Amino acid sequence: KLSGQYVARVIVNRFWQQVFGRGIVATSDNFGVAGAAPSHPELLDWLTSEFLRGGWRAKPIIKQMVMSQAYRQAAVLTPEMETAETTDPENALLWRMNLRRLDSEYVRDAILASSGKLDRSLFGEFIPVDVRPDGMVVIKKAGLPTPTYQWRRSIYVLARRNYHLTMLRIFDQPIVARNCTQREPSAVVTQALTLLHDDFVLEQAAFFAERLAAHKTTTEQIAAAYRIALGRLPTDEETRWCAELLQRQAERFRTDEKTAEQLALAQLCKVLFNTNEFLYVR
């Protein structure tokens, strides 16, 4: 029974780490003497007891975490927080939310959700990958059960030791050959280049633009793009910037056989995929 309580503490700490970016015990792979001390030991004890009382069910305890006041704080610093930042620069006391970048799988899924192409079907076979001569690892489209199978959630993408989907590897998907108790997100140039030039991103930006084409006016299209991709409406200044971008891009594509407005709208969608607000949880 005691060993079960220890296991429950480790599980609850992993849940907290996934939700808040850092566990109550920072060394989630080491609860021993050599590991870090819990920042909130009473909270860890209480969450563990709730987890056990709930029959080891994950969803109720995670729901309690995400509905807490600590989780619903913003990650953006304000002038009023200067004292707190000086006193607790690592935010161990949770006076604000930790800034968290989306994990690699979430980035791909968020792009698919924005374009409207995300296949939410559950279970079934994995999504096969194909290694191209240039070293890129992409989704293998031939022989799939359904046309939308290639757009299933990233958890179903085949992960081999040396052949990770390039889109996921660029955004720090862990190597499956060794244990990974906590992901270490990076911010490198290749990530921005991928979101600007990758075939998958360009394809989904075009689908996103088709989704927005249902709105008649430019202002409505911009508002819908922000609401879908960023979960909010644009400010007046952002609307003006986007309108100027659409106008410039439409003039650029005037000679294209496709409609210039549609291609310009795809460029706006690609820009939104590249924003920090799209990639980071605030």
Q: What is the pLDDT of residues 231-249, one digit of tens each?
A: 999 999 999 999 988 888 8
Q: pLDDT per residue over 153-205, tens digit each?
A: 999 998 877 788 888 888 888 877 677 777 888 888 898 999 999 999 999 99
pLDDT of 95 above 80? yes
Instruction: Please compute the mean of the pLDDT values over residues 54-75 and round it to a whole number.
Output: 92
CA distance 21 to 173: 16
Question: What's the pTM value of the predicted model, to 2 decimals?
Answer: 0.85
H or E stretch covering 208: helix 199-212
Instruction: Please compute the mean of the pLDDT values over residues 87-105 and round it to a whole number.
Output: 87
Burial class (CB in 10 A: 0-12, 13-18, 19+), 140: middle
CA distance 170 to 164: 9
Instruction: Please compute the mean of the pLDDT values over residues 41-65 and round it to a whole number.
Output: 93
Per-residue pLDDT, 248: 87
- For residue 116, what pLDDT band results from cuts at 50, 70 and 90? very high
CA distance 210 to 233: 19
Contacts (Cβ under 8 Å, ≥6 apart) of 220: none
Per-residue pLDDT, 2: 58
- For residue 94, what pLDDT band results from cuts at 50, 70 and 90? confident
Per-residue pLDDT, 274: 92
